[in-house]
Amino acid sequence: MQKIFSFILFCLFLASCSQSPAPDLLLINSNFFTADSLRPHVTAVAIQGERILAVGSDEEMKKLAGEKTEIIDLQGAFAMPGFIEGHGHFSGLGRSLQNLNLLNTKSWQEITGLVAEKAQTAQPGDWIEGRGWHQEKWTESPGTTVNGYPYHDALSAAAPNNPVVLYHASGHGLVANQKAMQLAGISRETSDPIGGRIVRDARGNPIGVFEENAMSLIEKPLADWQNRRSDAERQSAFDKTVQLASQECLAKGITSFQDAGSDFWEIAQYHRLAESGKLELRLWAMLSQPNAADLPKLADFPQVGLGNGYFTVRAVKAYLDGALGSYGAWLLAPYTDKPDSYGQNTTPVDNIATLAAACKQHGLQLCVHAIGDRANREVLDIFERVSPPSGGGAGSGVDAARWRIEHAQHLDPQDIPRFRQLGAIASFQAIHCTSDAPFVVKRLGTERARTGAYAWRSLLDSGAHLANGTDAPVEDVNPLPCLYASVTRKRADTGLGFFPEQKMTREEGLLSYTIWNAYAAFEEAEKGSLVPGKLADIVVLSKDLLHCAPEEILQAEVLKTIVGGKVRFDK
């Protein structure tokens, strides 16, 4: 009976093969990791239009070829599903490529030098923007400091006629020069806004550094300056930004990007670009935390698969605290190196709960930024209260809604099993672990760092869903250093390690950048593994990321990036 059944299936298979047209593209002679546990390794993939038609051996796939099938011989190279960036800032990435990039600067002197250089060609009154400085990475003293931060004086002297704003690498603080503070009307009388701090010296004078919500004081005149542009100027500047970010991502093997917070205007621009076929990789965006007046606008969402599957908005981003480096992470117990501080709660818990109820009402994923253990506990409590798990993944509970905690960076060990229990997704950035390694123990002390900081292994072992990413432009958007951090927990430059017992296996690392991120966006049926019927989003690399030595991950080169069956980057 079973034989007859098998025979009928075989006939059906032949019939369907003879009916379906030949593939447009065959990728052969490769070493594919498919991220599909049923068939993890194949040598060839057949693509028809935007999608994968079949996977298998070279011989099997060649049989499908027709007269017009293009065949690309990958000469044994390693290939896998295109990388999915799980948490980044797409327009921020584009802007960072236009503004001063301070990620690799080693001193305050170097930074003010770069600003002075930029000021020479800037029109008086134009803002100079930069991002990526980190006082913990400086090898030279910046002179007098407050909490390790420099005074603005050298920056003000470097650009006396231009307002300057330089964002901290974490994105949770900035330093401004005199001109910018003047435009913002900052004086010693200006009081700290809720959830933010104007850093002051012992005499109460602002030193130029603004943390968390205090950043908006400086951002206001910057936004005014930007908004003086016409709609057309603003739109074309945005398109340029998107183009730069796209090129950067495609060159690094990224075929989908999960944007962690765009406002309604930006969402409209992405929508326009997607509908006109101008997005070169797939974007999945979270709406930036809407204010109370904008909550009714959530009724227009989710918007899924716009522009032929290139743009989706089905999530909302919210912020509960700041970052660890700038003492903004909201902790259960005080900072070890700042015993008077528990960090910053940047949005009242009740406001997040209100937003959670709105997300539940409209069927949106809620993605809450939480770094400190207090912030993470509060978010888990909100998830549990507003949208209790429905059990077994069905219904409308937090588990079925796939609500996410963005960063989930420092957890109290008691809260680790709650991710699995609630079905909440821990969306972390492995590269933050090694970037932050030099100061985490200073901030948290050894015991808290060991048991709860970047605790991927503990989360995985508890059965939680994870997502991985870089938080670009906070970090380089390149997935390879992040993958290296995921599987080694070692810094690439100094070799400094951070509690290696929490590292991922090599396979988990690759899954975390493909199918796990697809799951975290409700897109696992469309992408994230190489399976017939899914989108043909593929990256080809010069090293076998599953088997090469760990250090070789860093040397791997992206050879091709394929989105929807089209080669979008070719080395």
Residue among 260 and 315 whose Cβ is closer to Zn ion: 260
**Minimum gap (Å) between residue 288 Cβ and Zn ion:** 11
Torsion angle (degrees, nearest 10) of CA 271, 273, 277, 280: -110
Cis-peptide into 550, omega within 30 deg: no
Write the CB contacts of 427 (distance below 8 Å, at least 6 apart in sequence).
Answer: 86, 87, 367, 404, 405, 406, 407, 408, 466, 467, 469, 520
Residue among 248 and 471 whose Cβ is closer to Zn ion: 471
Residue among 181 and 254 whose Cβ is closer to Zn ion: 254
**Minimum gap (Å) between residue 129 Cβ and Zn ion:** 18
Residue among 198 and 472 whose Cβ is closer to Zn ion: 472
479 to each of 124, 235, 258, 392, 562, how far by Cα in Å? Answer: 39, 29, 13, 32, 16
**Minimum gap (Å) between residue 469 Cβ and Zn ion:** 9
Residue among 34 and 213 whose Cβ is closer to Zn ion: 213
Measure the CA–CA gap between 368 and 286, rounded to whole angstroms: 10
148, 203 contact by CB (below 8 A): no
Question: Which range touches Zn ion (CB under 5 A), out of 183-191, 278-286, 331-339, 463-471?
Answer: 463-471
Residue among 215 and 260 whose Cβ is closer to Zn ion: 260
**Minimum gap (Å) between residue 87 Cβ and Zn ion:** 6
Strands (E), 43-127: 44-48, 51-56, 70-73, 78-81, 83-88, 100-101
Question: Which range touches Zn ion (CB under 5 A), out of 12-20, 236-244, 258-266, 455-463?
Answer: 258-266
**Minimum gap (Å) between residue 331 Cβ and Zn ion:** 19
**Minimum gap (Å) between residue 259 Cβ and Zn ion:** 9
Residue among 376 and 488 whose Cβ is closer to Zn ion: 376
**Minimum gap (Å) between residue 260 Cβ and Zn ion:** 4
Question: Which range touches Zn ion (CB under 5 A), out of 385-393, 422-430, 450-458, 470-478?
Answer: 470-478
Write the CB contacts of 392 (distance below 8 Å, at least 6 apart in sequence).
Answer: none
**Phi-psi domain of 306 (left: phi exceeds 0; alpha: psi -120 through 50; beta: other):** beta
Residue among 260 and 466 whose Cβ is closer to Zn ion: 260
Question: Which range touches Zn ion (CB under 5 A), out of 256-264, 341-349, 387-395, 482-490?
Answer: 256-264
Binding string, residues 204-243; x marks residues near Zn ion by CB under 5 A = ----------------------------------------
**Minimum gap (Å) between residue 330 Cβ and Zn ion:** 16
Which among 300, 426, 284 has a CA at the least distance from the CA of 363? Answer: 300
Measure the CA–CA gap between 93 and 266, rounded to whole angstroms: 14
Question: Which range touches Zn ion (CB under 5 A), out of 247-255, 260-268, 284-292, 372-380?
Answer: 260-268
**Minimum gap (Å) between residue 282 Cβ and Zn ion:** 19
Residue among 260 and 562 whose Cβ is closer to Zn ion: 260
Residue among 260 and 540 whose Cβ is closer to Zn ion: 260
DSSP 133: E
Measure the CA–CA gap between 433 and 371, rounded to whole angstroms: 12
Residue among 252 and 404 whose Cβ is closer to Zn ion: 404
Question: Which range touches Zn ion (CB under 5 A), out of 259-267, 437-445, 454-462, 534-542?
Answer: 259-267
Question: Which range touches Zn ion (CB under 5 A), out of 72-80, 253-261, 371-379, 541-549?
Answer: 253-261
Residue matched to tokens 């101008």: 278
Interior CA angle at 318 toward 312 and 323, to 5°? 120
**Minimum gap (Å) between residue 285 Cβ and Zn ion:** 12
Residue among 310 and 428 whose Cβ is closer to Zn ion: 428
Interface with Zn ion, residue 471, by CB under 5 A: yes
# of chain residues touching Zn ion (CB under 5 A):
2
For the segment 518-557, give every residue that binds Zn ion (CB under 5 A).
none
Which among 215, 218, 199 has a CA at the least distance from the CA of 144? Answer: 199
**Minimum gap (Å) between residue 244 Cβ and Zn ion:** 19
Residue among 260 and 538 whose Cβ is closer to Zn ion: 260
Which burial class, exposed, middle or buried, applies to 382 when counting CB atoms under 10 A from its CB (0-12, 13-18, 19+)? buried
**Minimum gap (Å) between residue 354 Cβ and Zn ion:** 22
Write the CB contacts of 223 (distance below 8 Å, at least 6 apart in sequence).
Answer: none
Structure-token pair, residue 126: 């134009």
Residue among 436 and 471 whose Cβ is closer to Zn ion: 471
Quickly count: other Cβ atoms within 10 Å of residue 224's Cβ. Answer: 10
Question: Which range touches Zn ion (CB under 5 A), out of 33-41, 299-307, 313-321, 464-472?
Answer: 464-472
**Minimum gap (Å) between residue 471 Cβ and Zn ion:** 4
Measure the CA–CA gap between 369 and 378, rounded to whole angstroms: 11
Q: Quick one: which of 26, 158, 260, 283 contacts Zn ion (CB under 5 A)? A: 260
Interhelix angle 373-386/349-362, rounded to 10 degrees, is: 40
Backbone phi, then psi, for 422, in 5-degree steps? Answer: -90, -15
Pairing of the two strands 196-200 and 206-212: antiparallel
**Structural element, H or E, at residue 358:** helix 349-362
**Minimum gap (Å) between residue 262 Cβ and Zn ion:** 12
Residue matched to tokens 């989105």: 563
- The string of DSSP codes covering 249-281 is HHHTTEEEEEEEEE-HHHHHHHHHHHHTT--SS
Question: Which range touches Zn ion (CB under 5 A), out of 229-237, 240-248, 352-360, 466-474?
Answer: 466-474
3-state secondary structure of 212: strand
Q: Applying CB under 5 A, which residues contact Zn ion?
A: 260, 471
